[in-house]
Amino acid sequence: MNRYANILILTACFLFSHSSLVFAAQFFELNGLAIDGHDPVAYFTEQKPVKGSPEFRSDYQGSTFQFASAAHRDTFAANPEQFVPQYGGYCAYGMARGYKAKIDPAAFTVVSHKLYLNYSEAVRSRWLADVPGYIQKADANWPEVQMSIKVQE
């Protein structure tokens, strides 16, 4: 085997053995969990944040989501896109302004059957001042901003 073939094989082995370097989680995580372990289905069924249980988990696009019940987990697994937070779970207001920001799971809004999270209740108040306008801006920003690794504190 020639030298270049060996390098190619070693490179491929490295990439496959270190797949976390290649395939990062798609959603913002707090404490290793999407939405800091809150049940995404509960935002729709109970209209409030509900902490999930480690007993009821589901992985989706590289992130782990927790649920309050097996029924919520199964509902999510049947159609995750219906329940995942918009913009990768980053702050929707921040996304409208062109950057990723962490979230507070209690600062949320459900609009047109979509979950939007915000940095804080104060930021959520600003978000509520023009939800349609901010959604339009965030939707336009998301394709470019989602590739950024920087998250505003």
- The more confidently predicted of residues 122 and 26 is 122
User: Kind and range of the H or E element at 135?
Assistant: helix 131-145
Q: What are the pLDDT digits (tens) for 85-105?
A: 999 999 999 999 999 999 999
Burial 133-149 (b: 16+ CB within 10 A, else e): ebbebbeebbeebeeee
Cα-only R_g, the chain: 18
Of 2-11, 15-24, 30-39, 135-144, the poorest mean pLDDT is in 15-24
**List of E strands, the chain:** 29-30, 33-34, 53-60, 63-67, 100-101, 104-111, 114-118, 151-152
Q: Tell me the pLDDT tens digit for each residue of 49-87.
A: 999 999 999 999 999 999 999 999 999 999 999 999 999
* Residue count of the chain: 153
Q: Residue 1: its pLDDT value, please?
A: 53
* 3-class secondary structure, 2: coil
